[in-house]
Amino acid sequence: MPLLSATLIVCDRLLGEVNGVYTPVRILDLLEYDLLPDLPPERQTLPANILAMLRFNAEDDGQHTVQLGATRPDGTEANLGDALPIDLRDIALVRPSPIKSVMVTVDLRIVPRDGIHTIRLLLDGEEVARFAFAIARRVMTQATERESLQAAQDTSQRS
């Protein structure tokens, strides 16, 4: 398996171009959240996007599986969906290139749990990349409270 590289990014948003190029917006290091008072915390989720990129040698015509997994701060592990089969014979080279690229994107909803979270990228059952980020409840300082109050007043004055 001539895997050349594997990259895993977790971000706020992915912009996808028609030519298959992706641009990650705000790569996550810290995902802060506020809880809604009328909804139980376990029913609230935070949006995120995953971009997994695998680069293979152009001569690789193998069949592989790709799996994403997550580890919560308490050590609980879970697969993010089913393993995806990839047949590199089906990947056409757009122009002469020594590389075949496979991109996997996932829209993710995360139940907020404070601490370090890890997303793992597995190829044929072996971890080839990981991405760690933290989730923490937003701390309201006097400055952010003033900004929130000002924004609320500005909105009510426009109405």
The domains located in the chain, with CATH, are 3-158 (2.60.40.3880)
Distance CA 47, CA 45 (A): 7
Residue 159 scores a pLDDT above 60: no
pLDDT one-digit tens code per residue, 89-109: 888 766 777 889 999 999 999
Pick 12 or 150 by higher pLDDT.
12
Q: 70 vs 146, which has greater pLDDT?
A: 70
CB 87 within 8 A of CB 119: no
Residue with tokens 């059952």: 125
Distances (CA, A) of 18 to 7, 15, 22, 54, 56: 21, 10, 9, 19, 22
